[in-house]
Structure 1
Amino acid sequence: MTPPSLDELPSHAKALPSMPEVVNYLIRSLGDESADVDTIAHHINSEPVIVARLLAAANSAASGLSTHIFSAKQAFLVLGADRVISIILASALSYRYDTRSAGFDARLLWRHSLGVAACARVLAEHTGVNRDLAFTGGLLHDIGQLLMYTASPVSYIQALELHHKDDIPIIAAERTVFGYDHAEAGRALAITWKLPNNIADAIAAHHEPDELGSEIGNLIHVSEVLSHALDLGEQPNNRVPDLSDLACANLGLSWPKLAGHFPEIEARYDGIRIALGI
């Protein structure tokens, strides 16, 4: 079966579950300082699975306290807004898009994406980029893989086999089979979902940031490389992509600076991964 063209691909997005309301709300409100806890908590309560994960994380963090956490609003007080938002986004996406079949395991995809998101949040704190935007960009950077697999499972498995057999970058294997790669597919999906332009840029640029030249694209690219270098997602046949010197220079980062953040990145990743049970 011939895989769909890039122009045809967005029509297959209907086969994916819709974004949870709380995720849509959080993504729309990135950087909005007027977004209040009560409104966010209201949206959280529409997703029982997210509420359960959030309360489990909050009660674990509050194990030394005498009281139990039983509401999303209390979870904010115990965990802090940054960690709550991280758990909400990661939990919703990993639960809603948990596709597994022979040759493709979305759990591995989300574990890697969580690693990139953890890297992105830490680096954002040291480069002046919006932290929530960075985390979301990292979490969604590989969403194009899921769309390509959904649109044409046989073709995407062929691309994965080519990637492993010939030891070539996944984007090169995808281009051979599909004529485009998951960064392009993810950008098309972000536009279809009406996600913010910065998120679309983060997805589009994470493998080849120099072509787009966006700050968030540079950040997600560096985070992608670091995640592989630290093997955060414990990926089979892990391969570290080439790091763009220009992206690092534009962010004011050097390898010694990056290395200094490794313990913090690993601690952030482990904390969220344990909270989500991924």
Structure 2
Amino acid sequence: MDFEDYPDEARIRAEFIVDERFRLNDRKRPLVEALYQASLRFTAERLVNDPDFWGRYGRERQTALDFRPTGEPVHLSLKNLRLPVLPQAGIELQQVMDNPNFTADDLAAVISKDPKLTTTMLRMVNSALYNLRQTVTTVSRSVALLGSQQVWNLALGTLMLNLFKQPANMRFDIQGYWRHCVACGILAKALATRARMPDPERFFVAGMLHDIGQLALLTASPEVMEVVQTTMFTADTTTPEVERRILTFDHMQLGARMSTMWSLPEFIHEAISMHHRPGDTELGSAARAVHLAENMAKVLTFGTGEGFVLDPLHEESWRSMGIGIQDLDAMLAEATEKILGMTELLASMH
């Protein structure tokens, strides 16, 4: 459906929202303009299908306009923050993959000991994300079909995101973060697949875990996280810069600390610690793919809260993928179907 075909009210509101979200970007650049036009369509669609969307956006925006920060940094120590501990299943997953003689049965046994992880894994494996022609009913079968590395990646990512819960007595939308993380994972994998990069499943997990620093801050200090999110709605700069103004550190640094503490693979560590600085990484890096995926997720309206803003797009990351701008709409449409299926699945489990 073309943007012009939407009702006048939806188009006017979509233009207002999308202009706000692209305020850090120059529309004279071809990639930015292509994403801007796509964002208009997806936002108009959201406005038509979600009657409460415009009201939520307006309320959050007014809260941000009324907010008066002190201007003083919050005294939180990066070193002393209480962070989630990797559960036993995660430790055992690491031990299995560190053993050069491990078998597929070893991996399946570790996952199967955790009922919640097993249920989540099987539902994800049977989702549109993989489009398997048969229903998988055991972890062993999923390992046989997808391979040990893919199943390990998926299990670890699922286990880690399960550590974070909705804070009590807070308007913070943890479900929105879940949707954003899943959308980033699916889009990062889609980019890697189209660019013919090796092992695109790694990119799914890198995208899914890229914002664990924000989720960790939410767990450690939900009040501070709410200040960051409210400030970001009307900020003239990126999320990490807003965080550094308030906290003196950002979610990439916090995420990197968690990644080191949990001994995550270097590929995922880079995505977590560098996704807002893709120009400082090498071609083909996880950070470059996740940078693009994160902003594409926002184009599809899968951001965090309603006041998210796109980062200044690093077009060299896009060019290095070798994907044409003419392929963008098809990729976004294909990814959207998978994202909606996965977010419905996750919503039913949380």
Which TM class, normalised by the smaller chain length? 0.7 to 0.9
- 1:217 matched to 2:287? The reply is yes
* Aligned residue in 2 for 1:18: 86
Q: For 1:99, which of 147, 166, 190 is the aligned residue?
A: 166
The change in CA–CA distance for 1:60 and 1:210 in structure 2 (over 3 A counts) is closer
Q: What one-letter code is carried by the residue in structure 2 that aligns with 1:225?
A: N
Residue 232, structure 1, aligned to residue 232, structure 2 = no
Task: Give the greater-gyration-radius structure (CA).
Answer: 2
1:38 partnered with 2:105: yes
Q: Structure 1 residues 24 and 144 mapped into 2: Cα distance closer, same or farther (>3 Å)?
A: farther
Deviation at 1:86, TM superposition (A): 7.0
Counterpart contact for 1:69–1:75, Cα < 8 Å: yes
1:256 aligned partner: 326
Assess if the C-alpha contact under 8 Å between 1:142 and 1:186 holds in 2: yes
Q: What is the identity, as a one-letter code, of the residue corresponding to 1:247?
A: S
Root mean square deviation of aligned Cα: 3.6
Alpha-carbon shift at residue 28 of structure 1 (Å): 8.0
2:214 corresponds to 1:145: yes
Counterpart residue number, 1:110 = 178
- How far residue 114 of structure 1 moved from its aligned partner, in angstroms, is 0.6
Q: Per the alignment, in what secondary structure is the counterpart of residue 253 of structure 1?
A: coil
Structure 2: state its 5+ residue gaps.
1-72
Change (3 A) 1:274 1:87: farther
**Number of corresponding residues:** 270
CA, structure 1 residues 270+85, in 2 after alignment: closer, same or farther (shift >3 Å)?
Answer: farther
Partner-residue secondary structure (3-state), 1:4: coil
CA distances 1:29-51 after superposition (whole Å, capped 9, x unpaired): 59x99875422211211211122
Structure 1 unaligned blocks of 5 or more:
none
Q: Deviations over 1:108-164 (max 9, x none)?
A: 222101100000111111221422221111011101112223333333322222112
Deviation at 1:262, TM superposition (A): 1.6
Task: Compute the displacement of 1:21 (Å).
Answer: 2.2
Q: Counterpart of 2:339? A: 269
Change (3 A) 1:40 1:95: same
Tell whether the 8 Å contact from 1:137 to 1:199 is kept in structure 2 after alignment: yes
Query: Structure 1's 55 and 130: CA in aligned 2 closer, same or farther, altered over 3 A?
Result: closer
CA deviations on 1:49-76 (whole Å, 9 max, x unpaired) are 12223445667899x98xx865322455
* CA distance, structure 2, for counterparts of residue 224 and residue 51 of structure 1: 28
CA distance in 1, matches of 2:249, 2:87: 24
TM-score (norm 1): 0.79
CA distance in 2, matches of 1:98, 1:266: 25
Is 1:191 aligned to residue 191 of structure 2? no
Cα distance in 1, alignment partners of residues 142 and 189 from structure 2: 20
Distance 1:189 1:212 in 2: 20
Question: Is the CA contact (8 Å cut-off) linking 2:233 and 2:308 kept in structure 1?
Answer: no
Do residues 241 (structure 1) and 311 (structure 2) align? yes
